[in-house]
Amino acid sequence: MQNLSSNQKNPFVVSMISTKGGVTKSTNVANIGAFCADHGIRTLMIDTDIQPTLSSYYHISNQSLFGVYELFNRPDLPIEQIITQTEFENLDIIQSNDPRDRLTTELNGLPGGVLKFRELIKNIKGYDLIIIDTRGTRGITVDMTVLASDLVISPIKPELVSAREFVRGTINLYESLSIFTNYGISLPPLKAVINCLDHTRDAKDIVTNLYDIFSKLSDENPHIELINFEIPNRVAYREAASRALPVHRHSKIESENIRKLCSILFPQWSAQLENE
Ligand X SMILES: Nc1ncnc2c1ncn2[C@@H]1O[C@H](COP(=O)(O)OP(=O)(O)OP(=O)(O)O)[C@@H](O)[C@H]1O
53 binds ligand X (CB under 6 A): yes
Measure the CA angle with vertex 17, ends 15 and 18; round to 5°.
Answer: 170
- Selection from Mg ion, ligand X, none that 154 binds (CB < 5 to 8 A by kind) is none
138 binds ligand X (CB under 6 A): no
- Selection from Mg ion, ligand X, none that 27 binds (CB < 5 to 8 A by kind) is ligand X
- Selection from Mg ion, ligand X, none that 141 binds (CB < 5 to 8 A by kind) is none
**Residues 3-22 interacting with ligand X (rule: CB under 6 A):** 21-22
- Selection from Mg ion, ligand X, none that 257 binds (CB < 5 to 8 A by kind) is none
Distances in Å between the Cα of 137 and the Cα atoms of 108, 221, 225, 241, 248 are 16, 22, 21, 23, 29
237 binds ligand X (CB under 6 A): yes
DSSP for 89-103, written as a single string:
TTEEEE----TT-HH
As a whole number of angstroms, the distance between CA 91 and CA 87 comes to 8
For the bound state, the minimum distance from the C-beta of residue 67 to Mg ion, rounded and expressed in Å, comes to: 16
For residue 146, with 0-12 CB atoms within 10 Å meaning exposed, 13-18 middle and 19 or more buried, which class applies?
A: buried
Per-residue burial over 50-69, b if 16 or more Cβ lie within 10 Å, else e, is bebbbbebbebeeebebbbb
User: Which of 19, 26, 145, 251 touches ligand X (CB under 6 A)?
Assistant: 26
User: Which of 15, 195, 251, 255 touches ligand X (CB under 6 A)?
Assistant: 195
User: Which of 27, 90, 95, 170 touches ligand X (CB under 6 A)?
Assistant: 27
Contacting residues toward ligand X, per CB under 6 A: 21-27, 49, 53, 136, 195-196, 231, 233-234, 237-238, 241
